[in-house]
Amino acid sequence: MKNQRQRMILSVIKEKKIRTHEQLVDELSRHGVSVTQATISRDVKELGIVKVADEKGAFYSVSADWDNPLQKFSADIISITGAGNLVIIRTCPGIASAVAAAVDRELKETILGSIAGDDTIFVAVPGEAAAETERALRELFMK
């Protein structure tokens, strides 16, 4: 049941610009899948679905389909600065959470984690690896 529901979620998100959990619940209902918003929230996280921005606001996108998920955000990055064991990423307003999720997935082996606000992300790195991580992020965003 869960696998079938998650396949349907991916299919719906690939076909339409879904902007809210409620809209996704409605779309799934039209396809005969009854689900709660809490279940949708868990599925979205498990599937690695992120929100990306367009001229009308944010919508869900399947990052697993991207060759380089970070490159999709290159226009939204204002600055990347390393300091000690932190890398600070400044983004356009409202996009930091999606960027942080992509950074977490892409650099999961080399970072400790990230915290995102509306337009700022703190990426924690082990030891004094901020300069190295900053370079890696610049390369990934600009590939």
Q: Please tell me what DSSP assigns to residue 113.
A: E
Other Cβ atoms less than 10 A from the Cβ of 53: the count is: 17
Instruction: Please tell me if the domain spanning 2-65 has the same topology as the one spanning 69-142.
Output: no
Q: Give pLDDT, residue 76.
A: 85
* CATH match for 69-142 among 3.40.50.40, 1.10.10.60, 3.90.226.10, 3.30.1360.40: 3.30.1360.40
Whether the per-residue pLDDT at 29 is higher than 90: the answer is: yes
Question: Cα–Cα distance between 77 and 142 in angstroms, integer?
Answer: 10
Which helix (H) or strand (E) element contains residue 10?
Answer: helix 2-15
| pTM, entire model | 0.58
Kindly indicate the confidence band of residue 81, based on its pLDDT and cuts at 50, 70 and 90. very high
In the chain, domain spans: 2-65, 69-142
Note whether 125 and 111 are within 8 A (CB). yes
Mean pLDDT calculated for residue range 123-141: 89
Other Cβ atoms less than 10 A from the Cβ of 33: the count is: 15
- Stretch among 66-70, 72-76, 92-96, 121-125 having the lowest mean pLDDT: 66-70
Residue 21 neighbours by CB under 8 Å, 6+ apart: 37, 40, 41, 44
Whether the per-residue pLDDT at 43 is higher than 90: the answer is: no
CATH fold of 2-65 reads Arc Repressor Mutant, subunit A (1.10.10)
